[in-house]
């Protein structure tokens, strides 16, 4: 893999924020009331359940992102668009680049919260 500007990936994600998140508010919890009372373990449990539904085909990734993600990308079904190296938090970037297109990650921790990532390009 070269590190040229053409070396971009595209991904969608679902973010669940929790007490340890850098910013404890989101588009669906502007006051941060829910986020401040959510432990990391609770956030992970919720995300694992959502991931199981997606992987088993019971739910669609984009629909789940639109409903549950604490990131404003929820409005786009979780789509973050294309990005290159150095644009995302390191664990997020490393995981995305390691996925094959169409693959969904396990739980990824960043300063923002816990995520599952789907590489789309």
Nearest CA to 119 out of 88, 85, 81 is that of: 81
Specify whether 71 is catalytic: yes
Residues 6+ apart with CB under 8 A from 46: 16, 68
CA distance 57 to 33: 32
Tokens linked to 64 = 């789940």
Catalytic member of 21, 26, 71, 105: 71
Specify whether 112 is catalytic: yes
Specify whether 13 is catalytic: yes
Catalytic member of 12, 13, 26, 105: 13
Specify whether 18 is catalytic: no
Positions marked active-site:
13, 71, 89, 112, 115
């Amino acid at each position: 893999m070269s590190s040229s500007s053409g070396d971009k990936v595209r991904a969608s994600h679902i973010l669940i924020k929790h007490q340890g998140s850098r910013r404890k508010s989101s588009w669906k919890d502007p006051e941060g009331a829910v986020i401040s009372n959510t432990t990391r373990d609770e956030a992970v449990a919720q995300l694992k359940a959502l991931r199981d539904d997606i992987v088993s085909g019971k739910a669609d990734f984009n629909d789940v992102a639109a409903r549950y993600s604490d990131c404003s990308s929820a409005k786009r079904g979780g789509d973050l668009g294309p990005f290159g190296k150095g644009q995302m938090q390191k664990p997020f970037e490393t995981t995305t680049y390691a996925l094959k297109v169409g693959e969904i990650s396990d739980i990824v921790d960043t300063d923002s919260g816990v995520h599952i990532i789907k590489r789309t390009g």
